[in-house]
Amino acid sequence: MTVPDCLPGFEPLAGPVRPGVVLGVIGHDIHVVANRILEIGLSETGMRPYNLGTSNTIDDFVDAAAETGARAVLVSSLNGEGEVACAGAGDRFDAAGLGHVLRYAGGNLVVGSRPTAEVERVFLGYGFHRVFHQSVSFAPVFAALRADLLQAADG
């Protein structure tokens, strides 16, 4: 079963150029399984993933987006280091002339247990466009990314 099979009514992105998406794990986090699943899912939903793997900084994501021409970046964390490691992310992308690149954060983004709305507020303040804190499914990520990429292409 592929990712599109799990999403009723989902249409993979089609066209001669598949949008590039940089993904990876932020901080001193070595949790790689979900990152690999995301990579496979991105490919199956019509995107071109560039997987940085684990133990990255925000500057690694900025550099990769610049080098690849990616239209989106997915930053993940499982051990909660995201809150510290992602601070100022939007400013870093803006400074590199990449303010147009969509920025998503997901996983267990903070240490301890905090309300999702609070975590979302923090990461939106850091310059992320969407936040998926402790999400149990990748389906909303793929659906939102598809919609955001299509909207960006139209606008």
Active-site choice (5, 29, 59, 100): 29
3-state SS, residue 79: coil
> Does residue 31 carry a catalytic annotation?
yes
Give the residue from 11, 13, 45 showing the smallest Cα distance to 150.
Answer: 13
Number of residues that this document lists for the chain:
155
Active-site choice (5, 28, 31, 59): 31
Q: How far apart are CA 44 and CA 54, in angstroms?
A: 22
> How many Cα atoms within 13 Å fall on the side-chain side of residue 52?
28
Cα-based angle 94, 153, 95 (whole degrees, multiple of 5):
5
* Catalytic annotation, residues: 29, 31
